[in-house]
Structure 1
């Protein structure tokens, strides 16, 4: 019987722009000896190559460079990347602290999302439009979903402004 699986590991990835900075950073080589005809260029990944555990692989501008847990790199075509990966939610430190406290205390995700249990800073972030302090139903729903995703998939803490 076929079962459905999802990836649980997170990766770091950066979209390759062909700049000298990225070429240097990832030790990408530009194979100037290899020329593409017009019809090959349309279907090819490009004249750039990045070293991977499997050897050098082609990478084109707009593709993604993924970095694994051991610092290894591999290219991912843009369309495949967009179908496979989603950026981790970015949440304020107060919300991250609340998630970690709830996980540490054995609180369920449902109780963690309960309005009455949340610290004031978390409630304000979820429901109030910045600058106006007006309740915003759309923001409330989006932020509830964001916190649930952060709980399940991980998150990035928002940088101080």
Structure 2
């Protein structure tokens, strides 16, 4: 059987900034004098300290825990949430709360929501032009345009 991850995470790429060192309690271990060994960086995790390299991603889980993910693994495993307009996000939220099917959303059947009438053309046109993004937002979540 195959499985997909269902929990959302927040992540940022580690660049070694002093702010990141403080925010994530990163421990810097200097090299032994007289060796070519570089600084080593460790981040505290639920499993104990884990090594962190510049370019790795620091993930924050649903309970606020952190862990490092190598850049290549991160890019194969995670994708950004779709960014959608506020009115489309409100429509999705309203439809989900009213047990409207995704099929009806993708074909933009407003199902008698009065507030949608005012903005119907813009919502319907945007959904028609971005059906993959709407389906992904429906299934995985989304961010609202700023």
State TM-score, norm by structure 1.
Answer: 0.76
Residue 62 of structure 2 aligns to a residue whose secondary structure is: coil
**How big is the alpha-carbon RMSD for the aligned residues of Structure 1 and Structure 2?**
2.1
Mapped to 1, the partners of 2:72 and 2:99 lie a distance apart of: 39
User: After the TM superposition, which segments of 4 or more aligned residues of structure 1 sit over 3 Å from their partners?
Assistant: 33-38, 115-118, 124-127
Deviation at 1:32, TM superposition (A): 0.5
Q: Deviations over 1:58-81 (max 9, x none)?
A: 000110001112211100111111
SS across alignment from 1:55: coil
Superposition map of 1:27-46 within 5 A: 27-33=25-31
Matches within 5 A, 1:3-152: 3-33=1-31, 47-115=40-108, 117=110, 119-126=120-127, 140=129, 143-152=130-139
| Whole-angstrom distance in 2 between the partners of 1:145 and 1:34 | 53
User: What 5-or-longer segments of structure 1 have no aligned partner?
Assistant: 128-139
Please, what TM-score do these two structures have when normalized by structure 2? 0.84
